[in-house]
Each structure stands twice: as structure tokens, then as C-alpha cells.
Copies of this chain bind each other. A is one copy, B any other.
Amino acid sequence: MKRQVEEEINQLKAKILHMGSLAEEMIHFSMKCFIERESNFGEKVFKNEEEVNRFQIEVDELSSRILALYQPEATDLRTIIAAMKINSELERVADQAVNITQTCTLHLFKETPVKTMMEIPRMATIAQEMIKDSLDAFSRSDVELAQAVLKKDEEEDTLKAKVLSEIIGMIRKHPSQTKQLVDLILISRNLEKIGDHATNIAEDVIYMTIGKDIRHPQQQDPPVVSPSL
């Protein structure tokens, strides 16, 4: 019984990691689509999305199955709860990449290209790194790496604010380009959201590993989920 539950939890983790690598690819391809104005990359995004959606259902199904069959406790229970939450986050990361791609193929490609991409490719690199690191942290139960992800999100938020203020300045100067510049704002928001999802994953990893819920820290003293659960 013990070996069986371990095996199924390992399967669950493997599914999450596979799903994560598909989502990372989607961020990468959506940016290629944006930078190179090439809708072929968009097709890769949509292809991966189908797979991510399939994984999402499989992960929830497998989690429910493990809960129902083995009644896991302590670390095993926390791992399954974390897996279910990370599952939702990854599906939403995929949605953000789809949104970026749609903004490109349905709107941006029809307009005159604007001369600058500002820090958007940099934001995408950070977002992709954050997803990768948060999943590495999940795979290795690495609290330190998860904490580094939380730190990186501050950098992403600073870039987002910078991009917004630059775009507003550009729109004022070139109002005829409003539409494509607003599209850039929306893309930067999608990337910021990916960073937020990575942050949520990192928090789930910390909860899973040390049994402590670090969300909303000012409200928790002592920690509400004890390590002995």
C-alpha cells in the first residue's frame, strides 16, 4: 500500500512537470510569435494548449483517485493538495500564453509595427525562468529556490510599471498607433500574470515542503497549518 501510493504520487509529480514544460514552451513560442511576427509559432502555442488542458483533467483525476483510494496523510496529503493547486496555475499560465498569441495574430499583425518592444521580451524571459524555477523547486522540494522565485516577482512588477509608463508616453506622441500600443500593454499584463502564477506555485511548494502557509504573512502568527498534519 505504501509503495503503491508513492508510485502514484510520483506519477502525479511527473505529470505536473510535463505540463510545466509544455507551459514554458508556450511562453517561449508566444514571444517568438510576438517578436518575429510569425504566426507559425502561434500554432505551436495552440497545439500545446490542447495537451495542457488534457493534463489538467488527468492531474485532477489522479489526485482525486489517490485521495479516495489511499487516504494519504502529512507530507503525502500536502503534496497532493499542492499538485492540485499547481495544476490550476499551470493551466492559467497556458491561457496567458494563448492570450498573448491571440493579441498578436488577431490584432497586432494587422497594424503597422511599432518600432520598439520595450522590455517586453525581458519580461517574458523572467516569467519563463520563474515558472521553470518554481517547478524545479516543486520537483526537489527546494524551499530556497521557491523563495528566490518570490523575490524575482518584484523585478517583474518593476518592469511592468516601466513598460506601462513608456507606452503611455508613446501613445501621447503617436496617437494614431494607439491600438497596437494598447496591445503591448495587454501583453505586458499577461506576462506579469505568468509571474504571479509562478509566485503562487512557489508558495504551494513551501507549504508542501515545510507544512507552513506563507500567504498573507502579516495575518499569521503562529502558522495555521502545523507540520505535523
Contact = CB atoms under 8 A, between A and B. Distances in A.
A44 interface: no
A43 to B, nearest CB: 17
A164 B178 CA distance: 11
B185 A64 contact: no
Copies in the complex: 2
Nearest to A176: B172
A178 to B, nearest CB: 5
A26 to B, nearest CB: 15
A1 interface: no
Given A164-B182, A168-B182, A81 B64 contact: yes
Given A71-B71, A172-B176, A182-B164, A57 B88 contact: no
Overall SS of chain A's interface: helix
A142 interface: no
Given A68-B73, A85-B88, A213-B57, A219 B50 contact: yes
Interface in A47-64: 50, 53-54, 56-58, 60-61, 63-64
28 contacts: A53-B216, A54-B216, A54-B219, A56-B216, A57-B216, A57-B220, A57-B224, A60-B225, A61-B225, A63-B81, A64-B81, A65-B229, A67-B67, A67-B77, A67-B81, A68-B77, A84-B85, A88-B88, A164-B182, A171-B171, A171-B175, A172-B176, A173-B175, A175-B175, A175-B178, A178-B178, A182-B182, A185-B185
The 9 A-B pairs of least Cβ separation, nearest first, read A71-B71, A175-B175, A53-B216, A171-B178, A172-B175, A61-B224, A57-B224, A172-B178, A168-B178
